[in-house]
């Protein structure tokens, strides 16, 4: 069964989806899960919502949730690479490409980053352009900027 529950956060409404006891998707304001997903809060979704709120309050720097992001083998390697970016730090697309052993795949890393189904929990917001500029984000650049600023402040790297 697939379940999704929406939580009101400082980012707006955020939906978290579970399938088979794994977190599989995040939905931002204006996004909705497929019709076959039950709108019901489970124990796992309650815990994920709690951890998300703790993160947004600056009380949590890592998540301890079972995640299942499905994509191509390359995408999954990129998403695993994103999870190695420390809280409060950023990396470029090139950095991620090099970290996963494919230094010429910057553009493909960008596409995989864009298709991340579990943003925040898989921290694609920590990837920026090589020149330090913010690049696209599924939830919008305002959310990406908010998340990066939160992490900088809580890790003592205020800019």
pLDDT tens digits for 26-71?
Answer: 999 999 999 999 999 999 999 999 999 999 999 999 999 999 999 9
Q: What is the rounded average pLDDT for all residues in the chain? A: 94
Catalytic residue among 4, 83, 106, 124: 124
Residue 133 has which token pair? 């500029």
Confidence (pLDDT) at 154: 81
pLDDT 10s digits, 10-32: 999 999 999 999 999 999 999 99
The CATH code of domain 73-154 reads: 1.10.10.10
Domain boundaries, given as residue ranges, for the chain: 2-56, 73-154
Task: Report whether 55 contacts 48 (CB < 8 A).
Answer: no
Cα–Cα distance, 150 to 147 (Å, whole number): 5
Is 106 catalytic? The answer is no
The whole-model pTM stands at 0.93
Torsion sign, CA atoms 49, 52, 54, 60: positive
63-98 exposure pattern, b = at least 16 Cβ within 10 A, e = fewer: bebeeebeeeeebebbbebbeebeebebbbbebbbb
Of 89, 153, 155, nearest in space to 123 by CA: 89
DSSP lists the bridge partners of residue 9 as 12
Query: pLDDT tier at 158 (50, 70, 90 boundaries)?
Result: low
């Amino acid at each position: 069964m697939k379940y999704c529950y929406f939580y009101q956060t400082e980012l707006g409404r955020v939906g978290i989806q579970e399938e088979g006891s794994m977190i599989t998707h995040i939905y931002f304001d204006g996004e909705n899960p497929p019709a076959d997903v039950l709108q019901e809060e489970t124990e796992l979704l309650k815990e994920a919502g709690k951890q998300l709120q703790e993160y947004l309050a600056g009380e949590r720097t890592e998540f301890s949730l079972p995640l299942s992001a499905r994509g191509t083998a390359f995408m999954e390697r990129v998403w695993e690479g994103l999870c190695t970016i420390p809280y409060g730090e950023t990396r470029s697309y090139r950095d991620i490409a090099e970290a996963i052993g494919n230094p010429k795949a910057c553009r493909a890393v960008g596409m995989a980053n864009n298709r991340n189904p579990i943003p925040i929990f898989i921290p694609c917001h920590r990837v920026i352009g090589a020149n330090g500029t913010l690049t696209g984000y599924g939830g919008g650049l305002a959310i990406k900027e908010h998340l990066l600023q939160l992490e900088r402040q809580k890790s003592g790297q205020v800019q």
